[in-house]
């Protein structure tokens, strides 16, 4: 397990860049951690680090956004509004997991029982002040 303390968005960018150097096709990044922890912010920097040039946005309503054109495609899920297995199934989640891209999953807590094997766990928690975040990353050597 690797632990990083981020004291700013820029620190979070550096962590995202470190991870982007190591990911490979079909990797699954499972975010854990509550509202406003920085999951979407991390994803924006991660996508840029993989060479994606476009805009990223929170897929809270779309459930999944696709970012293509970088080194690997990124499939960005937000499970916040997923309530049933059928909801999840109808997003093509299981197909996306095997499409050779990197799947990024916000609110993994909600689908914890159907996460793929060998996922990369990114747990974010609050630090001692407003802009501090603690990142605990498991499942990949950084």
Site residues (CB under 6 A) for ligand ATP? 6, 8-9, 11-12, 35-41, 58, 106, 131, 133
Which residue's CB atom is positioned nearest to ligand ATP?
Answer: 38
Contact 99, 69 (CB under 8 A): no
> Residue 131 binds which entry of ligand ATP, Mg ion, none, with Cβ cut-offs from 5 to 8 Å by kind?
ligand ATP
Nearer Cβ to ligand ATP (28/108): 108
> Residue 17 binds which entry of ligand ATP, Mg ion, none, with Cβ cut-offs from 5 to 8 Å by kind?
none
Does residue 26 bind Mg ion (CB under 5 A)? no
Least Cβ distance, residue 49 to ligand ATP (angstroms): 15
Question: Distance of CA 84 to CAs 87, 95, 110, 141, Å?
Answer: 5, 17, 10, 33
* Residue among 59, 122, 123 at smallest CA distance from 96: 59
Does residue 13 bind Mg ion (CB under 5 A)? no
Nearer Cβ to Mg ion (39/133): 39
Does residue 58 bind Mg ion (CB under 5 A)? yes
Q: What share of the chain is helix, strand, coil (3-state, %, to 5)?
A: 30, 25, 45
Three-state secondary structure call for residue 108: helix
CA atoms within 13 A on the CB side of 7: 1
Contact partners, residue 17, CB within 8 Å, separation at least 6: 45, 46, 49
> Residue 76 binds which entry of ligand ATP, Mg ion, none, with Cβ cut-offs from 5 to 8 Å by kind?
none
- Contacting positions for Mg ion (CB under 5 A): 39-40, 58, 106
């Amino acid at each position: 397990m690797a632990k990083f303390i981020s004291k700013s968005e820029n620190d979070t960018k550096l962590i995202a860049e470190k991870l982007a150097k190591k990911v490979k096709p079909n990797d699954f990044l499972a975010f854990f951690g509550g509202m406003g922890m920085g999951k979407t912010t991390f994803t924006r920097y991660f996508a840029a680090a993989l060479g994606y040039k476009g805009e990223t946005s929170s897929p809270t309503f779309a459930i999944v956004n696709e970012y293509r054109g970088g080194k690997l495609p990124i499939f960005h899920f937000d499970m916040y509004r997923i309530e049933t297995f059928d909801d999840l199934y109808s997003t093509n989640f299981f197909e996306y997991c095997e499409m050779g891209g990197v799947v990024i999953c916000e609110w993994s807590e909600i689908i914890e029982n159907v996460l793929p094997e060998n996922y990369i766990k990114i747990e974010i928690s609050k630090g001692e002040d407003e802009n501090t975040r603690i990142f605990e990353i498991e499942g990949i050597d950084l």
